[in-house]
Amino acid sequence: MIVIEKILSKEEVHSYRQQLANAPWGDGGNTAMGMAASVKNNNQADASNTLVRQLANQLLSRIGETPKVVSAALPHKIFPPCFNRYSETEEYGYHVDAAVMRIPGTSEVLRSDMSMTTFLSEPEEYEGGELVISTEFGQQSIKLPAGYAVVYPSSSLHKVTAVTQGQRFAAITWMQSMISDVSIRQNLYQLDQTIQNLIKENKTSRTEMDNLHNVYHNLIRQFAQL
């Protein structure tokens, strides 16, 4: 699990929320597949609507240009973000995201390696509505400020607890990584973050940094599946 801070500014979140207020919404259960459909109880913005599609493309661009997302996921393909809304009593029970998804409007398919939730509501706007992810260290409960996002393995069993007061807005998307092996992807993320920290500290010689960059990119060449 990797938290992405301020992928959207407060002003951008406000703009998204204003525009989504005028968008058509439908039963989110209609977009779920397999066993997930029986435990999904929320609303989802109509992805075919022009306004919703524009917002999705804006967020898609932001995701693709956010360094920490790229470092964490090394994305090869990104599913257009979907906007969801949870009102009182609505929830999404434990489920695993579909392993293979068809990208809307295309013949392309995407293997879901990483899932990403971008929060569009402040935590104080609603009660409940935590994203709960089962990990090897137990259940992790996540409720982030508006504009923040979390990236986590799509293979994880996860749920959104029932909203008991207010409304919870969020955007979700999935990414197919160039590196399918989870452990290799995690090691590359740690290596890249170490390199970025060394650059910020500016205490490492250019030769050493070049060597680290060389190792990092050669590992990607070795393991990337394109």
Residue-wise over 202-218: b if at least 16 C-beta within 10 A, else e?
Answer: eeeeeeeeeebeeeeee
Angle at 142 between CA 41 and CA 45, to 5 degrees: 35
Tokens of residue 178, six digits: 């160039």
Q: To 10 degrees, what angle do helices 206-223 and 182-201 make?
A: 160
Please state, in angstroms and as integers, the Cα–Cα distance from residue 38 to each residue in 8, 29, 48, 103, following that order. Answer: 32, 7, 23, 23
14 three-state secondary structure: helix
d(CA 56, CA 181): 28
Annotated binding site: 95, 97, 158, 168
Residue pair 79/175 in contact by the 8 Å Cβ criterion:
yes
Annotated binding site for Fe cation: 95, 97, 158
Q: How many CA atoms lie within 13 A of 217 on its CB side?
A: 6
d(CA 148, CA 78): 18
Annotated binding site for 2-oxoglutarate: 168
In this structure, what are the phi and psi dihedrals at residue 18, rounded to the nearest 5 degrees? -60, -45
d(CA 100, CA 108): 10
